[in-house]
Amino acid sequence: MDLVILVLKPMKTEYEKMRSQELYYFSDPEIHASLVHAKKVCARLRSMTICDEDYRQVIEELIPGIPQSTTICPPFHCDHGTGIILGENVFMNYDCIMLDGGYIRIGKHTLVGPHCQFYTPQHPMDYVERREEKETAYPITIGEDCWLGGNVVVCPGVTIGNRCIIAAGSVVTKDIPDDSLAAGIPAVVKRSLKK
């Protein structure tokens, strides 16, 4: 008689599903606790400036591992903070929003204008699933040495290459290759920036 051994994989938590681009319940208690923590820290940050003595401590509580050379100007809004990965010398101007259910990575020496918005969650097309409080979060990646003008919106799953400029007010719905100037709603590549 053959011996059959079953190896059972542990089930992923809803939080793990969120980080893995799988459909998850956004009302899950662990996710909710993470949201509440981030909202409380963002509220403390709102009453500060980058010159305040406690600013660095509060921003590091919100975004673990943020480089000393990186600046985020309050007010700032995010869902978790733990899904935000910023390179050296990133500068984010006032009133940016990062819905970081999926990871948001921004490369070094990138400038982000005021009121920019980064959305990783995507709700299902099926209305029944939307009623069940399900969504999927897709990562956003911004390359190195980029410049996003004010009021740029970056949609779920988008990658913007290195050395790109995204014009103010653009809505980026598709990937943008390296060395591109993109503008519009939706953003399209207007020209190459290669020298």
Active site members: 123
Rounded CA separation 56/72 (Å): 10
Burial classification of residue 71, based on how many CB atoms lie within 10 Å of its CB (0-12 exposed, 13-18 middle, 19 or more buried): middle
Tokens found for residue 5: 């051994």
